[in-house]
Amino acid sequence: MSLSTTPQPGPTRPELLAAMLRIRAYEERIVAFHAAGPFPNVCTSVGQEAAAVGVVSALRTEDQILTNHRSAGHLLARGADPGRMLAEVMGRSTGYCQGRSGTLHISVKELGVVLTSTIVGGELSLAPGVALSRAMLGGEGIVVCFFGDGAACEGIFHESLNLASVWNLPVLYVCENNQWQAFVHRKETMVGDHVAPWAAPYGIDSLTVDGNDVESVRKAALHAAAQVRETRRPFLLEAWTYRQRGHMEPHDQSYVDPAELEAWMAKDPISRLEARLLADGELTTADLEVLHAEARRAIDEAAEFASTSPYPDPSDLAAGVYA
């Protein structure tokens, strides 16, 4: 399927890079916290920044997002405060969910982030319901559901796509195919490399894009989102990317073929965009150093905020719990 070439207003290339750098700095701080001492286990998405920034930058404020356990990139790209995110991971009262959700269940209503599901495929089971609500309420807003290649191997993937197609629901399904399903390579669980073709039997259009090229992802996401808005029918976008770290911090990657990891590291999405900007004369080496420093400073401030925030008061334990 050809992509629309109509110019779309949006972030500049340096702004896309800055967004990816902030995500990388946030995740690297998580890694550092683990190395320094006791810290909650977190699933990072190092190496997948282009998929998150490319898709989310193509969305509108009225769109809603359902995401999974590797959600930090989606949240930060949407504009979430890294301080409140870290506070939530640390179980502090200043977190987005007052420390109740941790990283695996976070939601940010004001940003349209309906939920994060730690259950593999859990967000797929809820996407049709959220989209049905959107359809009944009217408007141009769409529902964007992020999931991985592991979730695509679950039965709920097929149930979700089937229902969205039968009911004509405005869902943009985004599969971040990062090659690894926890500790199992996708080649052990899938016949064929890609998830996108699995949409065809349900009458759903699909597209696979280089998930480590933020500009390509954004262009594909703009096209896909526009089609969902116009037709009010689902679309499946597959971002072909790679998870550079273990399934969950602080797991190692002893099970990963070193040659595979090296090959994908050479396709790092941040390094690729930096090289392109330097080659095109859009940024200098000094400019890149400034962007890196700004990203680190923002996360330093976030870490200070989260680390000094109080824990919830025990008297609030039952708040928000209903019988």
CATH number, domain containing residue 225: 3.40.50.970
Residue 307 inside a domain? The answer is no
Residue 318 inside a domain? The answer is no
What is each CA distance from 112 to 57, 224, 234, in whole angstroms?
A: 14, 19, 19
Query: Number of structural domains, the chain?
Result: 1
Please report the pLDDT score of residue 323 as a whole number: 66
> What contacts 51, CB < 8 A, 6 or more positions away?
73, 174, 176, 211, 212, 217, 239, 241
Please report the pLDDT score of residue 321 as a whole number: 77
Count CA within 13 A, CB hemisphere, residue 234.
31
In the predicted model, residues of the chain with pLDDT beneath 70 are 1-9, 323
Residue 1 inside a domain? The answer is no
Residue 209 inside a domain? The answer is yes
Please report the pLDDT score of residue 5 as a whole number: 39
The strand ranges marked E within 183-250 are 184-185, 205-210, 235-240
Residue 6 inside a domain? The answer is no
The domain of 289 spans 13-30+39-300
**Residue 24 is encoded by which pair of tokens?**
């990388």
Residue 312 inside a domain? The answer is no
